[in-house]
Amino acid sequence: MMNFVVKTLANAGALGVAVWLVPDITLTGDSTGKKILTLILVALVFGLVNFLVKPIVKLLTLPLFILTLGLITLVVNALMLLLTSWLAEQFELSFHVEGFWTAVLGGLIISVVSWALNVVLPDND
Protein backbone atom coordinates (compact mmCIF):
# COMPACT_ATOMS: atom_id res chain seq x y z
CA MET A 1 0.00 0.00 0.00
CA MET A 2 2.83 2.37 0.90
CA ASN A 3 4.47 1.69 -2.48
CA PHE A 4 1.26 2.74 -4.26
CA VAL A 5 1.11 6.00 -2.28
CA VAL A 6 4.78 6.77 -2.95
CA LYS A 7 4.41 6.12 -6.70
CA THR A 8 1.26 8.24 -6.86
CA LEU A 9 2.99 11.12 -5.06
CA ALA A 10 5.99 10.76 -7.37
CA ASN A 11 3.66 10.91 -10.40
CA ALA A 12 1.90 13.94 -8.93
CA GLY A 13 5.24 15.66 -8.38
CA ALA A 14 6.38 14.83 -11.91
CA LEU A 15 3.11 16.08 -13.38
CA GLY A 16 3.46 19.25 -11.31
CA VAL A 17 6.94 19.87 -12.70
CA ALA A 18 5.65 19.34 -16.25
CA VAL A 19 2.80 21.81 -15.63
CA TRP A 20 5.33 24.29 -14.27
CA LEU A 21 7.85 23.93 -17.12
CA VAL A 22 5.63 23.47 -20.19
CA PRO A 23 3.21 26.33 -20.91
CA ASP A 24 0.80 24.19 -22.97
CA ILE A 25 0.22 21.71 -20.13
CA THR A 26 -2.34 23.43 -17.96
CA LEU A 27 -3.79 22.81 -14.54
CA THR A 28 -6.43 25.25 -13.39
CA GLY A 29 -8.23 25.65 -10.13
CA ASP A 30 -9.62 28.22 -7.72
CA SER A 31 -7.12 27.60 -4.94
CA THR A 32 -3.85 25.84 -4.30
CA GLY A 33 -5.65 23.08 -2.40
CA LYS A 34 -7.93 22.34 -5.36
CA LYS A 35 -4.93 22.31 -7.70
CA ILE A 36 -3.10 19.84 -5.47
CA LEU A 37 -6.17 17.61 -5.23
CA THR A 38 -6.62 17.76 -9.00
CA LEU A 39 -2.94 16.94 -9.47
CA ILE A 40 -3.24 13.89 -7.21
CA LEU A 41 -6.37 12.70 -9.02
CA VAL A 42 -4.68 13.18 -12.40
CA ALA A 43 -1.67 11.24 -11.04
CA LEU A 44 -4.02 8.38 -10.15
CA VAL A 45 -5.50 8.43 -13.67
CA PHE A 46 -1.98 8.60 -15.14
CA GLY A 47 -0.90 5.65 -13.00
CA LEU A 48 -3.91 3.61 -14.11
CA VAL A 49 -3.24 4.44 -17.76
CA ASN A 50 0.39 3.41 -17.39
CA PHE A 51 -0.59 0.22 -15.56
CA LEU A 52 -3.43 -0.91 -17.85
CA VAL A 53 -2.86 0.55 -21.31
CA LYS A 54 0.90 1.06 -21.66
CA PRO A 55 1.89 -2.66 -21.54
CA ILE A 56 -0.62 -3.46 -24.28
CA VAL A 57 0.66 -0.62 -26.47
CA LYS A 58 4.26 -1.69 -25.84
CA LEU A 59 3.44 -5.25 -26.85
CA LEU A 60 1.68 -4.15 -30.02
CA THR A 61 4.53 -1.84 -30.99
CA LEU A 62 7.34 -4.25 -30.11
CA PRO A 63 8.72 -4.30 -33.69
CA LEU A 64 8.95 -0.50 -33.59
CA PHE A 65 10.77 -0.65 -30.25
CA ILE A 66 13.36 -2.93 -31.84
CA LEU A 67 13.56 -0.93 -35.08
CA THR A 68 13.99 2.45 -33.34
CA LEU A 69 16.18 1.10 -30.53
CA GLY A 70 13.60 2.21 -27.97
CA LEU A 71 13.08 5.78 -29.16
CA ILE A 72 9.43 4.98 -29.82
CA THR A 73 9.11 5.08 -26.01
CA LEU A 74 8.89 8.88 -26.30
CA VAL A 75 5.88 8.53 -28.59
CA VAL A 76 4.24 5.93 -26.33
CA ASN A 77 4.76 8.16 -23.27
CA ALA A 78 3.28 11.12 -25.18
CA LEU A 79 0.24 9.07 -26.15
CA MET A 80 -0.25 7.97 -22.53
CA LEU A 81 -0.10 11.63 -21.44
CA LEU A 82 -2.62 12.62 -24.13
CA LEU A 83 -4.91 9.76 -23.04
CA THR A 84 -4.59 10.96 -19.44
CA SER A 85 -5.52 14.48 -20.56
CA TRP A 86 -8.57 13.17 -22.40
CA LEU A 87 -9.66 11.06 -19.42
CA ALA A 88 -9.15 14.04 -17.10
CA GLU A 89 -11.54 16.02 -19.28
CA GLN A 90 -14.08 13.18 -19.11
CA PHE A 91 -13.85 13.22 -15.30
CA GLU A 92 -14.07 17.04 -15.35
CA LEU A 93 -10.58 17.48 -13.91
CA SER A 94 -8.93 20.73 -14.93
CA PHE A 95 -5.82 19.21 -16.57
CA HIS A 96 -5.10 19.61 -20.27
CA VAL A 97 -2.24 18.86 -22.66
CA GLU A 98 -2.33 20.87 -25.88
CA GLY A 99 -0.94 18.91 -28.81
CA PHE A 100 1.32 15.98 -29.57
CA TRP A 101 4.70 17.74 -29.35
CA THR A 102 3.75 19.25 -26.02
CA ALA A 103 2.91 15.73 -24.86
CA VAL A 104 6.30 14.45 -26.07
CA LEU A 105 8.11 17.14 -24.06
CA GLY A 106 5.81 16.62 -21.06
CA GLY A 107 6.26 12.85 -21.22
CA LEU A 108 10.04 13.27 -21.25
CA ILE A 109 9.95 15.62 -18.26
CA ILE A 110 7.55 13.36 -16.36
CA SER A 111 9.71 10.30 -17.01
CA VAL A 112 12.90 11.96 -15.77
CA VAL A 113 11.33 13.60 -12.70
CA SER A 114 9.33 10.49 -11.79
CA TRP A 115 12.47 8.35 -12.03
CA ALA A 116 14.40 10.80 -9.83
CA LEU A 117 11.61 10.95 -7.24
CA ASN A 118 11.29 7.16 -7.15
CA VAL A 119 15.03 6.93 -6.47
CA VAL A 120 14.81 9.43 -3.58
CA LEU A 121 11.51 8.33 -2.01
CA PRO A 122 11.29 5.05 -0.09
CA ASP A 123 9.43 2.22 -1.77
CA ASN A 124 9.06 -0.44 0.92
CA ASP A 125 5.63 -1.95 1.56
- Which among 64, 103, 114 is positioned nearest to 80, based on CA atoms? 103
Strand partners, 26: 96
Kindly tell me the burial class for residue 62, based on how many C-beta atoms sit within 10 Å of its own C-beta (0-12, 13-18, 19 or more). Answer: exposed
Query: Which helix H or strand E contains 74, and what residues bound it?
Result: helix 72-90
Sign of CA dihedral 63, 80, 5, 24: positive
pLDDT for 101:
94
The angle that helices 72-90 and 32-52 make with each other, rounded to 10 degrees, is: 130
Q: How confident is the model at residue 99 (pLDDT cuts 50, 70, 90)?
A: very high
- Tens-place pLDDT, residues 19-48: 999 999 999 878 888 889 999 999 999 999
- The pTM of the full predicted model, rounded to 2 decimals, is 0.87
pLDDT beyond 80 at 123: no
Q: How confident is the model at residue 124 (pLDDT cuts 50, 70, 90)?
A: low
pLDDT for 23:
92
Q: What is the CA radius of gyration of the chain?
A: 14
Q: Report, as an integer, the average pLDDT of 76-82.
A: 93
